[in-house]
Structure 1
Amino acid sequence: MRDALAVLRSEGLVRTVSREGSYVREEADPAVVRIEGPARIRVRLPTLQERKRLKLAEGMPVLVVENGETRLLSAYDTEIEIP
């Protein structure tokens, strides 16, 4: 059971609250981010500091968007729109 919960947590499907229990992650409406011009987008796991800043659960990936500036977005609830 612990191993199964650890896998679900690492995939961002379950969140665990200390001394309370584990819960299925709520589905969020995606934020639509429009990207102008040429851009590079890659997916990676965030650092601990990035995870705290973006309030992401363990195992949740981020999008790194580079188009003149670099933005870090949650890959779980972000939709990229390219005109």
Structure 2
Amino acid sequence: MAHKITECLCVYNLIPVTINPRSYVPVYQQLADILRNQIRSGDLAPGTDLPGEFKLAEQYAVGREAARKALAVLRSEGLVATRRGEGSYVRTPRERQRIELGAADKVTIRMPTPAERVELDIDEGVALVVLARRGTEEKLLPSDEVVITGKREAQKG
């Protein structure tokens, strides 16, 4: 079976984009890269509705599973949100809080409960960061709103 490189004109900006099924980069990742670039360049502005899985698959000549995985990647990065029954759309970028970890701090990343999603206004697919610092209560933060850094201590040798 011969594989062909699929080239199509993106309906948003009419720039040819290619997906190569023979590439070492999975097809879903190639599609996520294309959509991510369109979001970051402003071609897909915040609030823009994205085509559904079937339309994306048809438009880029990929399988529906590849379209589903591409949207999941973008959701996990906080670029896209999906509402049941409404489809996916480009999220408005949120301000990110920088958190510097100390040696005794503990960070856990997990998916939020339905109650936590409502309470913290977390979109579906966005993980929850649980920050535990000595002597304080655990802090719950949406993963798309934080950047975690830590100091590296030089080892004496």
Task: With the length of structure 1 as denominator, give the TM-score of the two structures.
Answer: 0.70
Q: Greater helix share, 1 or 2?
A: 2
- The aligned residue for residue 71 of structure 2 is 8
- Match among 9, 12, 28 for residue 94 of structure 2: 28
2:122 is the alignment partner of 1:56: yes
**2:92 alignment partner, SS class:** coil
Deviation of the 1:44 alpha carbon: 0.6
| Contiguous gaps of at least 5 residues in structure 2 | 1-52, 55-63, 152-157
Relative to its length, the structure with more strand (as a share) is 1
Change (3 A) 1:6 1:58: farther
Deviates more, 1:31-40 or 1:1-10: 1-10
Once the two structures are TM-superposed, the CA of residue 42 in structure 1 deviates from its matched residue by: 1.0
Give the share of equivalent positions with the same residue, in percent.
31
The answer to whether the 8 A contact 2:127-2:143 is kept is yes
Task: List gaps (5 residues or longer) in structure 1.
Answer: none
CA RMSD of aligned residues (A): 2.9
Query: 1:78 is matched by which residue type in structure 2?
Result: V
Q: Could you tell me whether the CA contact under 8 Å between 2:83 and 2:124 is conserved in 1? A: no
**1:26-75 CA distance string (max 9 Å, x none):** 22220234556621101110000001111011110011011132111111
Q: Which residue is 2:143 aligned to?
A: 75
Letter in 2 for 1:76: D
User: Does structure 2 retain, via aligned residues, the 8 Å contact 1:42–1:64?
Assistant: yes
State the structure with bigger RCO (CA 8 A, min sep 6), 1 or 2.
1
Size of the aligned set, in residue pairs, is 83
With over 3 angstroms needed to count, the CA separation of the structure-2 counterparts of 1:18 and 1:74, relative to structure 1, is closer
If you compute each CA radius of gyration, which structure gives the higher value, 1 or 2? 2
